[in-house]
A and B are shown apart, each in its own frame.
Chain A
């Protein structure tokens, strides 16, 4: 469904600040995969997402989505098929627009935007149904401005907006990291439910090793722009956090604490 072929990305090339962010990564994501990615700060995880989404372009290598080479396609064009949720709960919604207007923007991502009303009676019913699945009572606040919602509510809304048009690919970049533990647990549960229900092909970056182990059918560990460990299927299922820590230590040939991977 998604192929990354020898992706290479370097920042500030030829200056003292030169930084190879992605060092020849290849990856084949199959339809229905749910991949979790872990790795220390600066490993290149977000950069990899930006390259998949088209926010940045690789210096070498290609990106193929559904058999189509999209390497040079700008972000807004790829966005018809890619849903994203960011770490910052403020990033995924428009604060001065109402809940239903935000949903309308997400709803019309898949086709050219017209001069027809964004919110119609029919759509409003649909939005209500969708909001009910979150179980946060947002369905009764359709006309409230999103800027008034709490971080957790906004992130739940972002998640819904990113997924309810059933994108071919869902990218989640530490989307629970900015929330308190109970809200994070809620968003994690909703993520699991939605991905299973809609059978979305998903890649999720997380610093929470437990989350990485619990969710998904594949796991990748990244370090210094490379994938240094990979597991899938039955073996992934039986993986534990301490297995991961061991793996990481072996690869690096050093003793590592949970802290390092968790990013301090």
Chain B
């Protein structure tokens, strides 16, 4: 039990980077980007192939980040220059990436079990139960702080305005095409980074590992926002990270239930997202009805 929650948190921290990427596209840019299913694997594939060929793990991870960025940029160009609608741009890129990922890996599955990678480094270099957890917390916090800072720069404010009111930012000399392309690049770079980390952690890269990734990302964002709200950027990015961890814990607990199997995971994910979307509204409505009823009771008591 404890062990499975512990690993859930470790993995959750890796998926948190992916969730931050989804937050960037879905929330900040208001662009439902489905590239994620492909770019997650692209990150894994690039890192895996480079590691197999003896590259330094840090360089492999950086290359994965860059590959994700390029994938996002292409989705952005399909939408802005090609005039294709956001959903379709993402789907097209996702499909294209499936083939590209296969090409990169040259096989549906690449094993990293015998390779030196980031986590073998950490296990050997630092050691102890908490080594990976500690490093991941540090990495995620650094990314979070950088993202928070970025979204408050002149550039970042314009990026946020693009998703909020593109008429307005254009009239203040912001090139919305440029910001969308860059934002999608950054978003998918984070997703690919997560893909590269997860592949090393689990010891293999698989061409099908990305299926449903976008829903997992959304689940994290929505769970986080439902619990912590979205008052400020700093708070929301924290919410997204914690949301990703909570999602992993829910999944781990669900899988311990006797009659559920690994194959049910996607169904569980879908149900979690639906609940996270519906419950907050239902609860708010319930509270309102209660308030009204109490008020009426009070009023009738005064009269009577």
Interface positions of A (Cβ within 8 A of B):
53, 55, 74-77, 79-80, 83-84, 86, 90-97, 101, 104-106, 108-110, 113-119, 161-162
- Is there contact, CB below 8 Å, between A94 and B160? yes
- Is there contact, CB below 8 Å, between B152 and A77? no
B22 in the interface (beta carbon within 8 A)? no
Which B residue's beta carbon lies closest to that of A95?
B164
Specify which chain A residues have a CB less than 8 angstroms from the CB of B160 in the assembled complex. 94, 96-97, 101
Instruction: Give the distance in Å from the alpha carbon of A206 to the alpha carbon of B91 in the complex.
Output: 46
**Distance to closest chain B CB from A88 (angstroms):** 9
**Distance to closest chain A CB from B98 (angstroms):** 35
- Is there contact, CB below 8 Å, between A92 and B153? no
**Distance to closest chain A CB from B234 (angstroms):** 13
Instruction: Give the distance in Å from the alpha carbon of A97 to the alpha carbon of B174 in the complex.
Output: 16
**Distance to closest chain B CB from A251 (angstroms):** 33
Specify which chain B residues have a CB less than 8 angstroms from the CB of A53 in the assembled complex. 171
Among A76, A83, A94, A119, point to the contact of B175 (Cβ < 8 A).
A76
Contact-size category for B: 20 to 34
- Is there contact, CB below 8 Å, between B165 and A114? no
Instruction: Give the distance in Å from the alpha carbon of A75 to the alpha carbon of B158 in the complex.
Output: 16
- Is there contact, CB below 8 Å, between A75 and B170? yes
Interface positions of B (Cβ within 8 A of A):
149-150, 152-158, 160-161, 164-165, 167-176
**Distance to closest chain A CB from B185 (angstroms):** 15
Which B residue's beta carbon lies closest to that of A98?
B232
Specify which chain A residues have a CB less than 8 angstroms from the CB of B168 in the assembled complex. 91-94, 105
**Distance to closest chain A CB from B34 (angstroms):** 23
Instruction: Give the distance in Å from the alpha carbon of A90 to the alpha carbon of B149 in the complex.
Output: 27
- Is there contact, CB below 8 Å, between B174 and A116? no
Which B residue's beta carbon lies closest to that of A119?
B152
* A and B contact pairs by CB, cutoff 8 A, 5 listed: A55-B170, A75-B171, A86-B167, A94-B168, A114-B154
**Distance to closest chain B CB from A218 (angstroms):** 24
**Distance to closest chain B CB from A203 (angstroms):** 15
- Is there contact, CB below 8 Å, between B165 and A93? yes
Count how many pairs of residues, one from A and one from B, have CB atoms less than 8 Å apart in the complex. Answer: 89
* Known contacts A91-B167, A96-B164; A115 and B173 CB within 8 A of each other: no
- Is there contact, CB below 8 Å, between B165 and A113? no
Most interface-central of A76, A97, A110 (chain B CB within 10 A): A76
Specify which chain A residues have a CB less than 8 angstroms from the CB of B150 in the assembled complex. 115
Instruction: Give the distance in Å from the alpha carbon of A118 to the alpha carbon of B150 in the complex.
Output: 10
Specify which chain B residues have a CB less than 8 angstroms from the CB of A84 in the assembled complex. 171
Specify which chain A residues have a CB less than 8 angstroms from the CB of B152 in the assembled complex. 101, 117-119
Which B residue's beta carbon lies closest to that of A162?
B171
**Distance to closest chain B CB from A232 (angstroms):** 28
- Is there contact, CB below 8 Å, between A115 and B153? yes
* Known contacts A76-B176, A80-B173, A106-B172; A116 and B161 CB within 8 A of each other: no
Instruction: Give the distance in Å from the alpha carbon of A53 to the alpha carbon of B173 in the complex.
Output: 11
Specify which chain A residues have a CB less than 8 angstroms from the CB of B158 in the assembled complex. 105, 108, 113
**Distance to closest chain A CB from B113 (angstroms):** 41
Which A residue's beta carbon lies closest to that of B165?
A94
Instruction: Give the distance in Å from the alpha carbon of A117 to the alpha carbon of B170 in the complex.
Output: 20
Which A residue's beta carbon lies closest to that of B176?
A76
- Is there contact, CB below 8 Å, between B172 and A109? yes
Which A residue's beta carbon lies closest to that of B160?
A97
What are the 8 A-B residue pairs with the smallest beta carbon separation, nearest first?
A79-B173, A113-B154, A94-B164, A109-B172, A94-B161, A118-B157, A109-B173, A108-B154
**Distance to closest chain A CB from B2 (angstroms):** 40
Which B residue's beta carbon lies closest to that of A147?
B164
- Is there contact, CB below 8 Å, between A79 and B161? no
**Distance to closest chain B CB from A229 (angstroms):** 29
- Is there contact, CB below 8 Å, between B157 and A95? no
* Known contacts A115-B150, A119-B152; A95 and B173 CB within 8 A of each other: no
Specify which chain A residues have a CB less than 8 angstroms from the CB of B149 in the assembled complex. 117
Among B155, B157, B167, point to the contact of A101 (Cβ < 8 A).
B157
Instruction: Give the distance in Å from the alpha carbon of A86 to the alpha carbon of B171 in the complex.
Output: 10
Which A residue's beta carbon lies closest to that of B162?
A94
- Is there contact, CB below 8 Å, between A105 and B169? yes
Instruction: Give the distance in Å from the alpha carbon of A117 to the alpha carbon of B153 in the complex.
Output: 4
**Distance to closest chain B CB from A46 (angstroms):** 13
- Is there contact, CB below 8 Å, between B154 and A118? yes
**Distance to closest chain A CB from B265 (angstroms):** 33
Instruction: Give the distance in Å from the alpha carbon of A186 to the alpha carbon of B173 in the complex.
Output: 28
Most interface-central of B149, B167, B172, B176 (chain A CB within 10 A): B172
